[in-house]
Amino acid sequence: MEEGHKKILQRYRINIVTSLDPSSVYDRLLQKGVFTPEMIERIKSSGTPRDQARQLARDLATRGSRAFPLFLECLQDSEQHSLAELLRSGGSMSNDLILPVVRTPPVSSAVDFQKQIKAAPIHPLHSPGPSPGAENRQAQTEIRTRMEGRKRRDSLQKFPLATQSYKMDATPCGHCLIINNVDFEPQSELSNRTGSNTDCDRLERRFKALHFLVEVRTNLKQRRLKHELSALSKKDHSPYDCCVVIILSHGTEVNHNRFPGAVYGVDGQYVPVQLITNYFNGKHCPSLQGKPKLFFIQACGGGEKDQGFEVPSDEFEPSEGGIDDQTDAIPASSSSDSLSTSDEPDAGATLPTPSDILVSYSTFPGYVSWRDTQSGSWYIETLDRILEENAANEDLVTMLMMVNNEVSQNSAKGIYKQMPTSFNSLRKYLHFQTSTPGQNSVQHN
C-alpha cells in the first residue's frame, strides 16, 4: 500500500473503528481479492465489531497498492458513504464527519443551518451509472450527516471540548514514579518477585515515550515507600498536566472506604492504596487540583484464586500462561491491622476529594494477580502493548477496557483466571500525548 494511504488509515483509525460496519464489507473485500478467506476469518475472530474494524484497518495497510481504492469501493457498495468520502478526501471534507476532537464552528440558528443545507452542493459518488433513486438516497444521507453534525455542535456548545478532555500537552507531561519491589527481606515471609524487573523496564520506556519524567525506586521498605510518595506530592506540579504512580509489589486485602487493597514494602509492612491516593488529594497536593492522577497497581488484591466459569467455545480463544506463573499475594490481613475507615480524612477541596483519580488494579479486590517469572506480569505486559498500539487514538479508560478483555482470556497453569479492574473518578476523557513536541497533531484540550 502507498505510504500516503497508510497515513490516512492511521490518521482516521478511530473513525474507522467507531463507524465501520465490518460485516457488510467482508464478502466484497474477498471478491475483490483484497483479503484471503483465511484473513477474513482471522479478522472476524478478533472480537467485537469495533475490534474487527480495528484489525481490518491494520491488515489493510499490509496489502498491495490497490487495497485502499478497492476498500473505498467496498464502502460505497455497502452504502457507508460518509466514511468512504472522509477517507477519499484525506480529511479535507466537512468537519461534521470527524469525531468531536476537532473544533467545529457553531451554527447560529436553525434557519442559518437550513440555508447551509440548501446551498451546499451535493456531489454524486463516482460509481458507474447511478440511478436517480441512488442519488436521492445519497442526498438524504448527506443531509442526515449534516443534521447529526449540528446536533454534535449543539452538544459541544453546552459542554465545550475543554470540559470533555483533560489538557495533556505540557512538555514534559508530568512526573511518573515507579516503585519496583523485587527482593523481600527474609523476615517478611514474602517471596522475591522474579520477573518484576521486566515489568519495570517496559513501563519506564512506555511512559518516557508518553513524555513523562520517569523516576524508578527499587526495593523500598514501608517507611521509605511512604517517604517517596510524600516527596512526590510536595513537588510543584503547576507546569505539568498529570501525575502517574506505578507500584509493582506484593499486595493484600484491607478494609477501606474508597480505594481497596494495600501494597507491601520489602520489610513486609504494607501501605493501603487509600493512603497512597490521599498523598495527592486537594489538601496535600494543591498543584494537582483538577488534574488527572493515575495509579497503576500490580499486586494481589487478596489470596483467592479464580477458576472462572465456562463460556461457549466460540466466545474467545483462551490463552494459557506459562508454567512459571506466580502470584503477588499473601493472605488478607486481619481486622485488627486493617486500615480504619477514619484514617486520612480529607478536607477543604474545591472538587470532591476523590475526583480526577484513576486507580487501575491488576486484579479484582480479593483475588490474586499472576506474574510470569520470565516475561513479567500478565497485566503489565498487556497494558504496555495496548498503550503502544492505541494511545495515539484511544482514551485511557477505553484502553483499560481492552486490557481487561485480553487479560481475562489468560489462564494460569491452564486453570486460574485474572480480572483487572479500575476505580475511576476522572471527570473527562484522558488522551496521552504521543507525538513529538512541536509536531502537528490533534490536540485534546
- 104 occurs within a structural domain: no
* Residues 244, 251 contacting (CB under 8 angstroms): no
- 266 occurs within a structural domain: yes
pLDDT of residue 314: 45
pLDDT of residue 10: 82
Q: Are residues 86 and 203 in the same domain?
A: no
Number of domains the chain contains: 2
pLDDT of residue 377: 87
Please give the single-letter amino acid code of residue 135. E
pLDDT of residue 418: 81
Q: Which of 74, 173, 285, 300 is catalytic?
A: 300
Q: Are residues 89 and 189 in the same domain?
A: no
What is the CATH classification number for the domain harbouring 35? 1.10.533.10
pLDDT of residue 45: 85
- 390 occurs within a structural domain: yes
Q: Are residues 220 and 334 in the same domain?
A: yes
pLDDT of residue 89: 84
* Residues 167, 293 contacting (CB under 8 angstroms): no
Kindly give the confidence (pLDDT) of every residue in the chain, 445 residues in length, as a single tens digit, with 9 standing for 90 and above. Answer: 788 888 898 888 888 988 899 999 999 999 999 999 888 988 998 888 888 998 898 889 888 889 999 999 999 999 999 898 889 887 443 333 333 333 334 444 444 545 554 454 444 444 444 445 555 666 666 666 666 656 555 554 554 444 589 999 999 999 999 999 999 999 999 999 988 999 999 999 999 999 999 999 999 999 999 999 999 999 999 999 999 999 999 988 887 677 888 999 999 999 999 999 999 987 789 999 999 999 999 987 444 544 444 444 444 444 445 445 554 544 333 322 332 332 332 222 235 556 899 999 998 766 667 778 777 888 999 999 999 999 999 999 999 999 988 888 775 555 577 888 889 999 999 999 997 655 444 344 3
Q: Are residues 242 and 376 in the same domain?
A: yes
Cis peptide before 172 (omega within 30 of 0): yes
Q: Are residues 396 and 260 in the same domain?
A: yes
Q: Are residues 235 and 339 in the same domain?
A: yes
pLDDT of residue 211: 97
Out of 93, 108, 129, a domain closes at 93
To the query of whether residue 243 is one of the catalytic residues in this protein, the response is no
Rounded to a whole number, what is the distance in angstroms from the first to the last CA of the chain? 33
Q: Are residues 73 and 211 in the same domain?
A: no
pLDDT of residue 328: 54
- 130 occurs within a structural domain: no
Cα-based distances in Å from 330 to 7, 31, 126, 408 = 49, 57, 66, 22
- 42 occurs within a structural domain: yes
What is the CATH classification number for the domain harbouring 360? 3.40.50.1460
Out of 55, 72, 93, a domain closes at 93
Q: Which of 5, 211, 250, 444 is catalytic?
A: 250
* Residues 214, 207 contacting (CB under 8 angstroms): yes
Out of 44, 64, 93, a domain closes at 93
To the query of whether residue 300 is one of the catalytic residues in this protein, the response is yes
pLDDT of residue 416: 72
- 437 occurs within a structural domain: no
Q: Are residues 86 and 227 in the same domain?
A: no
Q: Are residues 183 and 87 in the same domain?
A: no
Task: Tell me the residue range of the domain where 285 lies.
Answer: 174-424
Output the pTM of the full model. 0.56
Q: Are residues 192 and 326 in the same domain?
A: yes
Give 399: exposed, middle or buried? Use CB within 10 Å, 0-12, 13-18, 19+. Answer: buried
pLDDT of residue 147: 66
- 116 occurs within a structural domain: no
Q: Are residues 246 and 379 in the same domain?
A: yes
Q: Are residues 257 and 388 in the same domain?
A: yes
